[in-house]
């Protein structure tokens, strides 16, 4: 599944904003190992660079952005995205840009702590906690199904 990360979720991880950083970090780790394809909006990258530069300086900010770019794909922002965002039902322009860039990038879900900002989205919107719970449930069901199939195959092959 392709998931776009809202800026607030990325900042939760980078700034270790508790209690939000724990579930967001889990999802980051899933992106790192390839369980999901993670996307960042191009505007998220510029916002994070700006904020990081103020806090840790330009050199460290560049290193953090390089790390993000090695893990995440980028949902581009172009004229079509901006025009769709300005005409969107979403009231927050930044959220509208992220949403439209996600749609144009073929993303299936957005992970955010501001679900209200995406209330008119036609893409699934999850909080980090919801996405972690949902994914863990799917993994448990998948493991049980795989175990059941394996047991079935063993029974057939020994009988």
CA 10, 104, 2, 126 torsion: positive or negative? positive
**CA dihedral angle for residue 33, residue 133, residue 73, residue 102, rounded to 10 degrees:** 160
Residue 113 in contact with residue 20, Cβ under 8 Å? yes
Stretch 82-88: mean pLDDT, rounded? 96
> pLDDT at residue 1 above 50?
yes
Phi, then psi, of 17 in degrees rounded to 5: -80, 105
Angstrom distance (rounded) from CA 116 to CA 57: 33
Stretch 110-138: mean pLDDT, rounded? 90
Angstrom distance (rounded) from CA 98 to CA 90: 11
Residue 114 in contact with residue 6, Cβ under 8 Å? yes
Query: Which pair of structure tokens corresponds to residue 109?
Result: 């879900």
The predicted structure's pLDDT at residue 134: 86
Angstrom distance (rounded) from CA 66 to CA 60: 10
Q: Kindly report the pTM of this predicted structure.
A: 0.82
> pLDDT at residue 124 above 50?
yes
């Amino acid at each position: 599944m392709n998931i776009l990360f809202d800026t607030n979720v990325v900042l939760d991880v980078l700034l270790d904003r508790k209690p939000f950083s724990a579930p967001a970090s889990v999802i980051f780790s899933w992106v790192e190992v390839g369980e999901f394809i993670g996307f960042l909006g191009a505007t998220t990258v510029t916002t994070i660079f700006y904020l990081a530069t103020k806090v840790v300086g330009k050199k460290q900010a560049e290193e953090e952005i390089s790390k993000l770019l090695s893990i995440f794909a980028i949902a581009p922002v172009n004229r079509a995205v901006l025009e769709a965002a300005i005409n969107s039902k979403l009231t927050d322009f930044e959220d509208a840009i992220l949403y439209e860039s996600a749609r144009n990038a073929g993303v299936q879900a957005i992970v955010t702590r501001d679900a209200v900002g995406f209330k008119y989205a036609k893409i699934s919107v999850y909080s980090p906690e919801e996405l972690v719970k949902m994914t863990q449930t799917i993994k448990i069901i998948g493991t049980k199904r795989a175990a059941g199939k394996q047991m079935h195959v063993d029974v057939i092959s020994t009988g």
